[in-house]
């Protein structure tokens, strides 16, 4: 017989349960992700639980942050102008040829 801790039961294990989108970096993580950590003392050892919940965007700021995510793109309708440009023009200046070098007199 061999004594000692069985490798299957003596090692720490971790399990992850993920559903949906979770941001992990930057300032939006500080605003949008709510984190909680709890440690439970059991007979076999300590069980640690970490929970991360990403809050939804709420324009009123009651159920989530008011600030939208930075990757959110909103497209505005183009403004209608009264004046129509008949012929578009450019302000580009045409290139002029440099003067030819003078030939030296002998």
pLDDT at 26: 92
pLDDT over 50 at 3, yes or no: no
Query: How far, in Å, CA of 51 to CA of 22, rounded?
Result: 12
pLDDT per residue over 4-26, tens digit each? 555 555 677 889 999 998 999 99
- Range scoring the smallest mean pLDDT among 77-81, 88-92, 100-104: 88-92
| Residue scoring higher pLDDT (84 or 50) | 50
Radius of gyration of the chain measured on its C-alpha atoms: 33
Determine the 3-state secondary structure of 32 from DSSP. Answer: helix
Contact status, residue 24 vs residue 40, Cβ threshold 8 Å: no
């Amino acid at each position: 017989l061999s004594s000692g801790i069985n490798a299957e039961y003596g090692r720490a294990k971790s399990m992850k349960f993920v559903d949906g989108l979770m941001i992990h970096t930057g300032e939006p993580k500080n605003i949008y992700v709510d984190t909680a950590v709890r440690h439970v003392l059991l007979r076999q050892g300590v069980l640690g639980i970490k929970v991360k919940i990403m809050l939804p965007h709420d324009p009123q700021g009651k159920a989530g942050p008011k600030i939208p995510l930075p990757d959110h793109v909103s497209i505005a309708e183009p403004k209608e102008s009264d004046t129509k440009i008949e012929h578009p023009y450019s302000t580009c200046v045409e290139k002029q040829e440099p003067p030819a070098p003078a030939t030296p007199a002998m």
